[in-house]
Each structure stands twice: as structure tokens, then as C-alpha cells.
Chains A and B, each alone.
Chain A
């Protein structure tokens, strides 16, 4: 009981020093931490500097959490259309006769080729359309192909997009979308946005400390597909009827042929029209875009041009003169804000598919600050209550348990700071709860000591037996708690996961503080006080 290897003592002291040392920076302001980091000599490893603090979750510092989902059906539709165009091209190139056109379903296309010789010529070409999905394994490509080709006995050939092919398309689109969303959020000029993928088809955008969550959502949710097309003279043929923004939603016939698309834009800036002082967007094309635009405006003098954004006509100005310089302006019924947003969207580029916001959680900065205040208060009061109770019950040993408790709370903060874990509101609740349960290990040990000394053991052997016998119980009870906490971590996200992290760390540190630290302190007390009996 009283013998400690010097090595062990040093290890425990180091753990305490570092644990509590890492918790210290949480008391500094962010500015102080930055100053320390800037001022420290470069030979000190960054991990040793007191600059790591607990990251506050959005629910504590305020901000917006928006979860977007990509429209899978939209993407698959695009794939099927592409497939139809490819099949049509191959049929034409190979001069193959087929009956009754190319049929389209939700997942694929079909074509009837009556001649067996034609089919033999056609199938290898069609197979070239299908690509293997997935990474290259040891035995060639793993997984299956993007397109399934089935041949019916009556000459019907069916091509369908496979599940794996659709997933691959979704994966690529989400990657593209993340790039685009990052550019859009950066343009808002907020600090440290966090954009990450969730599951196969979702993107989580977290923006701390945002003043205008509505604007964030406006900017995230828009596909922003910009097209310049000619207004058609009449309906029918290759003409879409699109709602117009300035004519109160009435339908305008627009040619299907696209002159230039948004991806050929190199810049877009909000401005004011010098003549009407209306807010407008000035844009510039790249060389390809400028050429096409110049050609189209030269050929169509005097005709209205439709500027189409996400299948809505924002304006349809009449072409007064050929625009060959590669720059132009978009005017419409704009407010200053919508012009700003449009410029951001055009600069950042269009999303590869429609995205919908499926979840939003926004917390105002005021509420966050209140929560932190309340959390601090509850933690303080809980600590004081538990310490008073423990000292009232166990006297000197209660005091020792209280030291262990304080170290335990420090260690949780220290570990969370080093790991860069996020503190959330339920996390604070977790800390308060762990203050209540952390002393359990001490109580188990002390009660065991009482029992052993009641059974007539000498003090020193009762102390020893208390630790030894309670240890198995402490391990068992903490492991069962840990399993529950891990389950919570595995399924939780956001705030709940923050709670799980605190819960898990609390369980791990309590074993260190309640067993090892308590044991050392009791040994110290024994040497110093030379007691004859248990103090409780």
C-alpha cells in the first residue's frame, strides 16, 4: 500500500501536470492564445504550447448547421438521357436499322434491333459505354459495371444504369457540390466554415457565428445553373415554356439550344446600372464563351435573348448590337441583396444537381452565451455540493476524493482540448453528471475499507484490502458504462456525440484519478498523520 515505485509516481505526476496544463488555455481568450502561438520560438512542438482549447459546438457559440441532400433521381435522369444520346449516336454511326425508336424508362433505355447480324455488330459497341466501378483490386477492377446490358430473344436490347453506376455518379456529384458550396460559403466571408460529406448523398455545412442564416440558406440551396438561350417565336418543336420572373410568372417560349452556359463565366460582380441606377450583375466570359456569345448576338440582332437561371427566365433583353467583347450585364427585378447573392452564385459555379436542405439547426449567439453561463454555474454548484457532502461523509478521505474529483474535471477538459473535441450543451450536462458519478469509485473503495476494518483487520491491511477488492467492481461497473457510452457515440451526431465524448473521457479518467491518485494521496496522508484507525 505504502510502497510506490518512483517511476509510477513520476508517471502519475506527469499525467496530472499535462492533463491540467492542457486544460489551462481554456481560461485564456482566443486572442491570448493566438499571441502565445505567434510569440513562441519555433523549436517548441506546437502540441506542447498552451494554445489548444476546447472547440465550442454550434449550440454554444451560435451558428448554423445545414444538411443538404443531393437529388439522386435528378442525377440518374441525367445519366439515362446521356445513355440515350450515346445509343442514338452509335446506331447512326454503325448505320443499324431499329424499330420503334429508343424507349426510355426511369433507369435505362431500350431499342429493338431485328437483324441478328446488326445486333452482333452493335453489342460490342454498346459494351464500351459501360465502365467498371470502383478501385482497381488485385484481380482487376472490383465491383460491377455502370451499365447493365440485357438482350431479349425477340431482338430487344435493354440498357440500364446499375445501382453501383448510380452510386458512383452520386459520389462524384457530391464531391463537385462540396467544392462549389465551399466557394459560396467562403464568399460570405465567415470564419472557419466546416463542410463535410455525410453518408453517400449528403453534405453538412456548419458555419459558426453567422449573422444572417437565411442568406446562407438562399446561397446554399440554389443550383444556380445559368444559361443564355434565344426566346422562340412560337411554341412547339424544340421549345421549352419557362416561367418568367419579370412578367409575373407567365410562361415564355425559349429555344432548347443553349448558346452559353454559366461554366463559361470567369467573373461576376454586383454593380449599378449607370442609366437606370438599378442593381445589376456585370459578368465576363472566357474565350470560348465570348466567341459563342458574339456569334449569337451578331446573328440575332433585334431578337430577345433569354437569360435563364434554374429554369426561370430572369430577363429577356432585346439584342441592340453585337456583343463581342465577352462581357455583359444581367438586369432584372433585382434588389441589392439578390444581386449580391447572384454574383456569388455565378462566381462559385452551378451545383451538379438539385440539392435540398433536409435539416437546419441555427442557434443565435445570445442563446449560446447564456448556455455557457448556465453550464458554468451548474458545474460550479454541483462540484461544491458534492465536495461538501464527501467531506461531511469521509472527513480527510472526502477531501482526498475531492482533489481527485477536481483533477478529473481538469483532465476531461485537458483531453478534450488536445483531441480538439467539441464541447456541446449536452456535453456540459455530461460533465455535471460525471461530477456526480466520478466519486463512485472512491466511495466503493472507502466503503470496502470500512467493512474490512470492521472485520478486525489492522488499518494498513484494511486500506490495502479496500483498494484490492474494490478494483474489480470499479472495472466492471465502468466497462458497462463505457459500452453504453460507446453505443451513444456510434449512433450520435452533433450535440449528442459531444455528450458521448465527455461521457467516455469521464469514465476513462475516473479510473486514473479515483484509483491511482487517491491511492497515492492516502499513502501520503498515512505517512504524515500516522493514524491508528480509519478517519470515518
Chain B
């Protein structure tokens, strides 16, 4: 039986040269992200924006979405976002944060229950007041920063500072690109999205560390090899592992997208995008960064110093 291999053995791809395409691409994409962030903005869910979310299901038959929208807007809590989703007459309604502090939010649920209880089952009700949403924003931002600082310290201890910086740059790049995914698709950004972002941080580092581990090993073994060649070799020798792991992760996530239900779908889609981005950035973003950071500096066992990227025909 012939076993399947995605990547042939002993590939010799010129990885770092590819930065001529990958860097401008990522730079342009990042600019687009910043532009969208300022103009369109993230579609914050109620976790961060405050407000009320109600998901309900018609007790029988297909609900008239137009009449539900009319009824929801008629409750006197401003324009409600009413959408149909899933199968079998599920409707989600979102009401913006009501003026009048924490207590005012509760009225939305009371009124909505009165209006829709006869014909609908309430499957999910979430109300977040202004104070809580503010704290959630802080906690989310803090978590991402905390994770990056923690990892930076660990990598600094395990590797040289240059490799740590390369890995973190790659991770930041992945966060920016993932944000871009949220901006372009206008997928709701909520607490679970923060969980997705942090998972992507973990995965991104995982991918980069595998390549850099090899880089470190090769640095010790080939003391005179030009940096560019050495980086190419690092990526090429870990390429088949990268391909296989990405594939298994993508397979699992596809199962999640297709069968995990509507509540997980968003998370799974973001992760799917993230895995692809992380794989790309570990090879074409983080690794070429090392050309510009003198990775051979400060190594006691170096026989001859080469200026960084001296022989890299880039």
C-alpha cells in the first residue's frame, strides 16, 4: 500500500526569497485592516457593546420574519437587529444598550417575553450592562497582552532574543490578519472571539517554534552556512510536519464547522482561517525576519562571524 505524502522528501524551496511577495502582501493587508478598523469597525457582540440578545424558535411552522421585526421595533427599545438562522425557524434579535444604566437593560427582556412568549420558545437570553461590557473589553485586551509577554519571556530563556522577537512578530502579524477576517466578514466579535484569538496566538507560536527549534539546531551544526540558506533549510526540513499537522487541524475544524452547530460555527471559522494564516506566517513572515536580526550574535561557540544575511541572494 502506497501511503500518502503531501510534501515530497528533501524539498529545496527558496523560502526567504519569497519574502519579496509575502512582506508587501502582509503589509498591504495590515494597512487594509487598519483602514477597515477605523472606517467600518468590528461588529462587537453584546459582550463588549452591552445590550440584549434573544434567540427564539417558533413553536410551530415558519415565523414571519418581517412581522417579528416589526413587533421587535415596536417594543420601544430602538431599532432591533432581527435575523433568521439555523434550521427550523430560529430567530435572533439584538437590542442595543438602553440609556439609563444597568437596570434599564432588564426591561427589554421583560417586554420581549410578554410580546413573543405566546408563539416562540426562548432558547437564549443574554443581557450585558454597560459596566460589565467595559470590564470585559479590558479583560480581553489584558489577556492577549499577558499571553504575548509571557511567551516572550519563555522564548527569551529558551532561545536567543532574536528568535523570540521573530516569533512574537509573527504572532502579532497573525492577530492582525485574524482581526482582518473579523472586519471583512463582519462576524460578531465577542468573548468567544477572544478565546479564538488566544488559541490562534498559541497555535501561531507552536508553528513558529517548530521551525525555530530546527533553526537553532542547524545554527549549532553548520556554523558557516549563510543565514538565508540555513533558514531555507529549517523550513524545508520541517515542511512535511507542518503540512501534516495543519491538515489534521483543518480536518478537525471542518468537522466543527459542519456539525458543531450554529453556536460554535463562528469560532470554528475563525480558527480555520487562523490555522491557514499561522502556517503561512511561520514560514514566510517570522522566518525571514531573522535575516534582519543578527541570530549568530552573542553565541560563544561561533567560529567566524558573518554579517547577517551577507550571502543571502535576496
Contact = CB atoms under 8 A, between A and B. Distances in A.
Mutual binders A and B = yes
Interface of A: 59, 67, 69, 213-214, 217, 221, 356-364, 366-367, 370-371, 373-375, 377-379, 381-382, 385-386, 389-390, 392-395, 425-426, 428-429, 432-433, 435-437, 439-440, 443-444, 447, 450-451, 454, 469, 472-473, 476-481, 483-488, 490-492, 495-496, 499-500, 503, 536
Contact of B155 (A374, A428, A480): A480
29 contacts: A213-B125, A357-B105, A357-B106, A360-B127, A364-B124, A373-B261, A377-B259, A379-B255, A389-B248, A393-B5, A426-B192, A429-B260, A432-B252, A432-B268, A433-B253, A435-B252, A436-B250, A439-B245, A450-B9, A473-B213, A473-B214, A476-B213, A480-B151, A484-B151, A484-B202, A485-B202, A487-B150, A491-B140, A491-B142
Given A487-B143, A491-B143, A378 B256 contact: yes
A443 B255 contact: no
Given A371-B264, A473-B213, 15 more contacts: A357-B105, A359-B128, A360-B126, A360-B127, A361-B126, A371-B261, A378-B258, A432-B268, A444-B210, A473-B210, A480-B151, A481-B206, A484-B147, A490-B143, A492-B195
Nearest to B86: A370
A491 B194 CA distance: 10
Contact of A356 (B103, B213, B253): B103
Contacts of A69: 102, 131
A433 B271 contact: yes
B260 A426 contact: no
B11 to A, nearest CB: 12
Contacts of B203: 437, 481
B198 A477 contact: no
A499 B199 CA distance: 10
A432 B256 contact: yes
A490 B145 CA distance: 12
Given A436-B250, A473-B209, A214 B110 contact: yes
Given A378-B259, A483-B151, A433 B249 contact: yes
B260 A484 contact: no
A464 B220 CA distance: 21
A492 B47 CA distance: 12
Contacts of B113: 214
Q: Please tell me the size bucket of the interface on B.
A: 35 or more
Interface stretch (B25-33, B178-186, B236-244): B236-244
Nearest to A68: B102
A483 B154 contact: yes
Interface centre among A358, A447, A450 (most CB of B within 10 A): A358
Interface of B: 1, 3-5, 9-10, 55, 57, 101-103, 105-106, 109-110, 113, 121-129, 131-132, 139-140, 142-144, 146-147, 150-151, 154-155, 158, 191-192, 194-195, 198-199, 201-203, 205-206, 209-210, 213-214, 217, 237-238, 240-241, 244-245, 247-256, 258-261, 263-264, 267-268, 271
Given A362-B122, A363-B123, A440-B206, A375 B261 contact: yes
A447 B240 contact: yes
Contacts of B209: 473, 476-477, 480
A374 B261 contact: yes
